[in-house]
Amino acid sequence: KQEVTQIPAALSVPEGENLVLNCSFTDSAIYNLQWFRQDPGKGLTSLLLIQSSQREQTSGRLNASLDKSSGRSTLYIAASQPGDSATYLCAVAPDDYKLSFGAGTTVTVRA
Amino acid sequence: DGGITQSPKYLFRKEGQNVTLSCEQNLNHDAMYWYRQDPGQGLRLIYYSQIVNDFQKGDIAEGYSVSREKKESFPLTVTSAQKNPTAFYLCASRGQGATGELFFGEGSRLTVL
């Protein structure tokens, strides 16, 4: 069974610092990996989708890398802002339709 | 504009009552999902459907039921058999088979009184 782990569970940084969020998974047989943002009491918003054949994806200040062989993905957020405060979750898609989610990293950016 | 609509946002239920959560999408996606989220835990899969008139149990299907009569709609019924139904419920959909991007609705919070 696929296990997805996100460490640390919580992170607090001063405004302007770069954020590095980690996601690890146990089974490298995945179709893709997706990063989400969740604000309190809200649904999940898709940030980046990386297909298994890709090494990274970028969108604005966000960059996500994928290393399937080592079972790792990293989400980088450059020059963090207070508006980046949220919970960030990763999910991996295996060869069936049942995605597996990490428990998330809760980020606080201090002004 | 396209998206996933969940209703109601908040729902209160007395013990012993069944309740149905609505999920509608206009993204023309084949696959739809229901997840449950509890504080401090990751999302857990309740049911999913790859195509109309077909659905499969997820990891925590006991006490829940679904139907998929239309491509756009995937309602979830929380039955009285669900022992601990108070939670945040999230509906999602995905196109392009197993490689597609997953999109979520805004969620429904169910509280059992």
Q: What does the pLDDT read at residue A61?
A: 97
Q: Which residues of B touch A4 (CB under 8 A)?
A: 42
Q: Per the structure block, which two tokens stand in for B99?
A: 């490689």
Q: What is the pLDDT of residues B34-93, one digit of tens each?
A: 999 998 778 999 999 999 999 999 999 999 999 999 999 999 999 988 889 999 999 999
B99 pLDDT more than 80: no
Q: What does the pLDDT read at residue B70?
A: 97
SS3 helix, strand, coil % of chain B, rounded to 5?
A: 5, 50, 45
Mean pLDDT of all residues in A71-95: 95
Output the CA angle B72-A36-B110, nearest 5 degrees. 60
A66 pLDDT more than 70: yes
Q: Per the structure block, which two tokens stand in for A99?
A: 């995605």
Closest CA to B33 of B16, B45, B18: B45
Q: What does the pLDDT read at residue B1?
A: 65
Q: Is B109 on the interface with A (CB under 8 A)?
A: yes
Q: What does the pLDDT read at residue A22?
A: 97
B2 pLDDT more than 80: no
Q: What does the pLDDT read at residue A11?
A: 95
Q: Per DSSP, which regions of B1-105 are E strands?
A: 4-7, 10-13, 19-25, 31-37, 43-51, 54-57, 64-66, 76-78, 87-94, 102-104
Closest CA to A57 of A34, A38, A89: A34
Identify the band that residue B100 occupies on the pLDDT scale cut at 50, 70 and 90.
confident
pLDDT above 70 covers a percentage of chain A that reads 98
Q: What does the pLDDT read at residue A5?
A: 96
Q: Which of B37, B41, B43, B108 to mutate to test the interface with A (most CBs of A within 10 A)?
A: B43
Q: Which of residues 26-85 of A touch B (CB under 8 A)?
A: 31-32, 34, 36, 41-46, 49, 51
A99 with B45: Cβ contact below 8 A = yes
Q: What does the pLDDT read at residue B96?
A: 74
Q: Which residues of B touch A88 (CB under 8 A)?
A: none
Q: What does the pLDDT read at residue B89?
A: 98
What does residue B74 show for φ and ψ, rounded to 5 degrees? -145, 75
Q: Which of residues 65-84 of B touch A (CB under 8 A)?
A: none
Identify the band that residue A77 occupies on the pLDDT scale cut at 50, 70 and 90.
very high
Identify the band that residue A76 occupies on the pLDDT scale cut at 50, 70 and 90.
very high
Whether A85 contacts A107, CB under 8 Å? yes
Q: Is A89 on the interface with B (CB under 8 A)?
A: yes
Q: What does the pLDDT read at residue A16?
A: 97
Q: What does the pLDDT read at residue B15?
A: 87
Q: What does the pLDDT read at residue B98?
A: 63
